[in-house]
Structure 1
Amino acid sequence: MKLKARDILKESTRLIGNDLWRYVLVIALTETMALLLVRQVSSRIFQLALVSAKVQGINNQNYLQILTNPIALILILFTLFLLGTFVVLQITTVLAFADRPYHDNKLSLKSIFKPILKMKPTNYLVFVLYIFIIMPLGNVGLTSVVTESLRIPSFIIEFIESVPWMMITYYLGLIVLFYLNIRFFFAFIIFYNEPGSFMQALKHSWTITRKHAYLIFKITILIGAGTILATLLALLITLLPLIVSEHFFPNNLKLVNSLLSTAFLFLVMFIVSLSSIFMIQGTVVAYHQLKGDQVSPSRAFYKPKKHSLIINSLVIIAFVFFAAVAYFDTPNHALAGSVSVVSHRGESRNAVENTLESLELAAKHKPSYVEMDIQQLADGTIVVFHDYDLKRLAGINRKLNTYTIDELRGVSIHSHGNTSTIPTLDEYLALADSLNQNIMIEIKTTTKDSPEFLGDIMKIVESHNMRDRVIYQSLDKYAILNYKEKFPDATVGYILGINIGGLEDMNVDFFSLEDYSVTTRVVNDAQRMRKGLFVWTINSEELMQFYFKTQITGIITDNLELAEEVREDMKKTPISDLFWSLDFLESR
């Protein structure tokens, strides 16, 4: 049977229109249950796992401590099982609601739980791979609030993109996952409607999508495009009154802004819910049209019930509540100036990173600090360089710590059409001192470092009278704690490449985390411990706006110019506050 995307979306629109409000209610309930119940329960179990392993969170240095603790490992696996089970329950609940028009029987709890009850233990590995890898990374078709925030940390992606073969492999992998999502598009509706295991549902979906992959792709593109257009329209509707109010009613701007922020929030929530509804109903309609099924006669002429006064009242109450939250929680614009901006390896867009040229260009923007990396050479000289080898910037496959400074003088490094040489720490700080620029030193360690390495760093810093203008951080927990012990008045920080859970209290002055690892708990832990918190690497306007409105210590960025523009725009106009409620409510 030849199917058309237009006919599928047209039939989906008719079925959705028949019972839109109850549809939205089902989506809202399942999403709320995921956010408030499942995440809370799973986080408690995960916390028990951390307690069992005697750690505050999982990071790049203690993950083996978790994996070698049987109780902690069992609890983490149970957390994954619980989350995966709820994903099935959430998706099958809304699928069951969307599937009602094709059945005479009334929707029951038994039918909703049926897929869970027939899940075979032998299919769990495939199930986990599909739920936590293929679905969120492939990003096509059905999804869940539990998994939609899963993503690869940006610093890992940046590293991958810096190595050509890894970048090619990564993007080919994404294409494969995208294609798998297309081919497994009907897996859940098959698993709900037909007998058989989840593996059989995947195989059946693979079979029936062989000739309809483009159709599925077209449906998802049309729904996605509609969502974007609707969101832009909602933005336009709320921005115009705000611009008018800013010019004609400046004294009432905060109240108007709060009301419009809430209106925008409601519109976006409705649009996102409607997008999910269309994707779900489109999946169901396409599946039944492929099978040649028709809407049940008893439901063909279904007349929707008018939404009651209770629903209208609840919507109004919710609107007033969120408007009040937006009014009292709209941030003070002074906060935008209290968050430090740190230049990541200097101005690396117009010069080679970690060079004297990159430092000089960065200093023109007057950042709070210029971040740089140091390592020790074979002869004990300390140089400013990030990678442990010269392959990326010099095309030489040799470890940096095998060089002497005399050998390194003849090596040129290249990036983005720029050429330079590797400076010593002494040369770098001499220029920083002349520029009156504060520095954030990342100490990179190897097993070949001399015992004098840490002491030599401070000697060079003191030789330039910069002890009060330099702070230190490292991925090596023991090195940075040792540095703090040697120099108690030094400001030091511990870098966590990946962190899941809370922060461990230790003798450092700040923590440095990638955006992916920053959660409400992390921020609360840092504040409770009275530690600073730097977040890296923040290069997008949206993330800059978000963090400038928080009370973290600072952001580390590759784009100082954009950071300056964002900060100034936030001080000039309250339009950016339109998105504050959305950012505030977003789960991080």
Structure 2
Amino acid sequence: MTNEKMKVWAYFKHNAGDFSRHWGAYIMLISVTNLFIGLAVIPFFNFAAQQTLRIGHVPYITLTNLGQILTHDPGVAAVLTLLGLLLLLFVYWQFTFLILGIQNIHRQTRLSFFQLAIATLKKTHRLTPTTIAVLIAYFVLIFPFSSVVFKTSLLAKLTIPDFIVDFIFARWYLGLLVIALYMMGTWLAVRLLPLLPALILSETPPRKAVAKTWRMTRGQTWRTLLAVLLIFIPVAVLTTLLTIGLYLLQSYLDSHWEHWALLGATINLGVLQVVMLLLTVFFTVMLYQLGTSQAETFQLIPNQDLIARVPKRRRNLLFRIGAVGLIALVIGGSSLFYYAYLTGALASQPLTISHRGVDDGNGVQNTIPALQATAKEKPDYVEMDLHETKDHQFVVMHDENLKDLTGVDAKPHQLTLSEMTKLTARENGHTAKVASFDQYLAAAERLHQKLLIEIKTTPEDSPQMMNHFIQLYGQRLLADHDQLHSLDYQVVTTMRKQVPKLKTFFILPYTLVFPETPASGYTLETTTLAMRVIDEAHNRDQKVYAWTVNDSDDMEKVAFMDADGIITDQLGELKTTLYQMNHHPSYADQILQYLTSFSDDAEN
């Protein structure tokens, strides 16, 4: 073993031993911090943002209307910006509190939570405009790629939506670019691991701290990566062994002790949560200690106690009792949840909705042959798209340019309906004629297939587009029990005002604050969908459809979140998944499902 590897191993042994001695204190520190954030800080920001939008008469905020808010509602934009800066301050306080708290336990300075909070507030003087700029750059560059290093639920919405990921990886050159950026982000996260402790704990000006961190970590990246892997690998191995062990144990109970299988599964889920909590706390503490120790080694912060010592007191036992009590409280509170999950009481029966009228590439999207093939599987709804044409008619088409499907480099509003329906679309090895909405709707009626119609809009649409659509189809769609949804808020409000009985959903590609609109419900991109959002919608008598959900694990997760509908390109997979959920798979399989598709989101 080389000298460098021996140093890394010695570091790991030292800090792992420290964790084994003070695990109770570490669990209390991190759990209390997370509880405070989850129960107080995040609800405060949600409430403040909602009140800001309500007072400013802004019904919603998402990626598509940020520019409009900035230009038309500068007061709302200013308050939201202040809330964003305040959020960053809380992120800074969280990291500061954890770094000081972990060092307090590690060095046995024995400060109370109140004293740590005071010490954290005193560090606020480090948060200069330059520090804020550096932190924003740090989060923007590193968090989308390597949030595992310093993770916070306060920045949980800094995720890339699945539809953007799908768009990127459908194009190999963009996929390669993202992989390269991911590798670069990971490399930066590893190299700049000591930067956050340096920004918080040192008295060095931020610019100098960044420059010194970059200079001192030169040539140390592989050593740091080795140290990170030495932390990550045991956690991954233990998680795998735990999962396999619980699965085998539960499989034995399922087959040999059926009367005790449900009780055993409930206990096993409790054991799973406890061990995963311990592993998560261990991983977090080890990473924070690694970053802080590197900051000391590279002389980015003073190599001395971070807080003045106070007389030692033997409180390990009290912390362990407190940690065990907290764990028991969580497990006790979760036992009813586990029981409901295992018996299927949590699983709702969401509507099955075929995205663009296809199932696993069984035809060309938004065409009648695909509709006919998909309708045989009896989805609750077939989702499809329409555009206005040059002669103010309606054609079934998703794309704003026809080139990808038909080879014609034109937009729907540049061609008449007659010209459009003469085109042939090609996709998934199939060909089909482009259909008018009249043709598609008539075909759906013959098949007794209900539709979820997405109305696409562009700046080139005629001013009377919606009035014309309502005059032609409003009552017919009501009679067919069809539904509508749209990304255009004007479409939603117009439909709700003129045809209030027709269910019309508002599509939101990114959920920042719960909207207050007259919509019948919301079609929400699954990446930022959370249980609290669905609960809030149901409290307001609104529905939630999740899109686009193509993985069985995500289907299970969304169903357990109590979504009212699931829009998917894999209709057959969705039906199979829901069938298996409704017919109670083995408890062993449900434990695996919980681990892979539900545990990360249970707190939402």
Whether TM-score is above 0.5 comes out as yes
Corresponding residue for residue 120 of structure 1: 128
Pair 1:206-2:214 in alignment: yes
Q: Structure 1 residues 284 and 352 mapped into 2: Cα distance closer, same or farther (>3 Å)? A: same
Tell me which of 478, 482, 502 is aligned to 2:490. Answer: 478
Alpha carbons 2:356, 2:385 under 8 Å: kept: yes
Tell me which of 519, 534, 538 is aligned to 1:527. Answer: 538
Q: Structure 1 residues 213 and 61 mapped into 2: Cα distance closer, same or farther (>3 Å)? A: closer
Alpha carbons 2:384, 2:396 under 8 Å: kept: yes
Which one is further off, 474-483 or 108-117?
108-117
- Equivalent position SS for 1:3: helix
Shift of 1:82: 2.6
Aligned pairs (5 A) from 1:377-388 = 377-388=389-400
Q: Structure 1 residues 284 and 18 mapped into 2: Cα distance closer, same or farther (>3 Å)? A: farther
Corresponding residue for residue 559 of structure 2: 548
Alpha carbons 2:28, 2:323 under 8 Å: kept: no
Tell me which of 12, 15, 18 is aligned to 1:12. Answer: 15
Corresponding residue for residue 38 of structure 2: 35
CA distance in 1, matches of 2:342, 2:571: 23
CA distance in 2, matches of 1:313, 1:395: 65
CA distance in 2, matches of 1:448, 1:500: 29
CA distance in 2, matches of 1:105, 1:452: 70
Which one is further off, 467-476 or 252-261?
252-261
Alpha carbons 1:127, 1:198 under 8 Å: kept: no
Q: Structure 1 residues 26 and 319 mapped into 2: Cα distance closer, same or farther (>3 Å)? A: closer
Pair 1:23-2:26 in alignment: yes
Alpha carbons 2:358, 2:374 under 8 Å: kept: yes
Corresponding residue for residue 277 of structure 1: 285
Q: Structure 1 residues 564 and 304 mapped into 2: Cα distance closer, same or farther (>3 Å)? A: farther
Tell me which of 85, 88, 104 is aligned to 1:84. Answer: 88
Corresponding residue for residue 187 of structure 2: 179
Q: Structure 1 residues 489 and 144 mapped into 2: Cα distance closer, same or farther (>3 Å)? A: closer
- Equivalent position SS for 1:130: helix
Alpha carbons 2:531, 2:562 under 8 Å: kept: no
Alpha carbons 1:53, 1:72 under 8 Å: kept: yes
- TM-score w.r.t. length of structure 1: 0.86
Aligned pairs (5 A) from 1:155-304 = 155-162=163-170, 167=175, 169-290=177-298
Aligned pairs (5 A) from 1:379-398 = 379-398=391-410
Alpha carbons 1:377, 1:383 under 8 Å: kept: yes
Pair 1:307-2:317 in alignment: yes
| Structure 1 letter corresponding to 2:553 | E
Corresponding residue for residue 602 of structure 2: 586
CA distance in 2, matches of 1:7, 1:411: 70
Pair 1:512-2:528 in alignment: no
CA distance in 2, matches of 1:111, 1:452: 61
1:60-87 Cα distance to aligned partner (Å, 9 max, x none): 5654564354543343233222322222
- Equivalent position SS for 1:33: helix
| Structure 2 letter corresponding to 1:131 | F
Alpha carbons 2:421, 2:433 under 8 Å: kept: yes
Pair 1:47-2:50 in alignment: yes
Shift of 1:56: 4.6
Which one is further off, 276-285 or 348-357?
348-357
Shift of 1:22: 1.6
Shift of 1:345: 0.8
| Structure 2 letter corresponding to 1:557 | T
Alpha carbons 1:136, 1:147 under 8 Å: kept: no
CA distance in 2, matches of 1:458, 1:146: 47
Q: Structure 1 residues 71 and 380 mapped into 2: Cα distance closer, same or farther (>3 Å)? A: closer
Q: Structure 1 residues 28 and 458 mapped into 2: Cα distance closer, same or farther (>3 Å)? A: same
Which one is further off, 207-216 or 5-14?
5-14
Pair 1:500-2:512 in alignment: yes
Corresponding residue for residue 355 of structure 1: 367
Alpha carbons 1:98, 1:284 under 8 Å: kept: no
Shift of 1:91: 2.1
Shift of 1:211: 0.6
1:122-155 Cα distance to aligned partner (Å, 9 max, x none): 3322322323553344335222232245202222
Alpha carbons 1:499, 1:517 under 8 Å: kept: yes
Corresponding residue for residue 72 of structure 1: 76
Alpha carbons 2:384, 2:453 under 8 Å: kept: yes
CA distance in 2, matches of 1:273, 1:559: 37
Unpaired runs of 5+ residues, structure 1, are none
CA distance in 2, matches of 1:223, 1:102: 17
Cα RMSD (Å): 3.7
Q: Structure 1 residues 537 and 117 mapped into 2: Cα distance closer, same or farther (>3 Å)? A: same
Shift of 1:2: 6.7
Pair 1:557-2:568 in alignment: yes
User: May I ask how many residue pairs the two structures share in their alignment?
Assistant: 582
CA distance in 2, matches of 1:458, 1:166: 43
Shift of 1:253: 4.4
Shift of 1:182: 2.7
Which one is further off, 510-519 or 363-372?
510-519
Q: Structure 1 residues 115 and 314 mapped into 2: Cα distance closer, same or farther (>3 Å)? A: same
Shift of 1:385: 0.9
1:515-549 Cα distance to aligned partner (Å, 9 max, x none): 24434453234223322221111122222112222
- TM-score w.r.t. length of structure 2: 0.84
CA distance in 2, matches of 1:101, 1:314: 19
CA distance in 1, matches of 2:336, 2:141: 36
Q: Structure 1 residues 391 and 8 mapped into 2: Cα distance closer, same or farther (>3 Å)? A: farther
Tell me which of 424, 438, 459 is aligned to 1:426. Answer: 438
CA distance in 1, matches of 2:11, 2:408: 57
- Equivalent position SS for 2:410: strand
CA distance in 1, matches of 2:181, 2:334: 43
- Equivalent position SS for 1:562: helix
Tell me which of 127, 136, 146 is aligned to 1:138. Answer: 146
| Structure 2 letter corresponding to 1:333 | G
Tell me which of 567, 578, 585 is aligned to 1:573. Answer: 585
Aligned pairs (5 A) from 1:416-455 = 416-450=428-462, 451=464, 455=468
Which one is further off, 510-519 or 303-312?
303-312
- Equivalent position SS for 1:423: coil
CA distance in 1, matches of 2:465, 2:102: 69
Q: Structure 1 residues 435 and 44 mapped into 2: Cα distance closer, same or farther (>3 Å)? A: closer
Unpaired runs of 5+ residues, structure 2, are none
CA distance in 2, matches of 1:402, 1:336: 47
Corresponding residue for residue 342 of structure 1: 353
1:368-394 Cα distance to aligned partner (Å, 9 max, x none): 111010112213442211111124334
Corresponding residue for residue 4 of structure 2: 3
CA distance in 2, matches of 1:125, 1:313: 41
- Equivalent position SS for 2:580: helix
- Equivalent position SS for 2:81: helix
Share of identical aligned residues, percent? 22
Alpha carbons 2:359, 2:572 under 8 Å: kept: no
CA distance in 2, matches of 1:49, 1:27: 31
- Equivalent position SS for 2:20: helix
Shift of 1:291: 5.5
Q: Structure 1 residues 122 and 355 mapped into 2: Cα distance closer, same or farther (>3 Å)? A: same
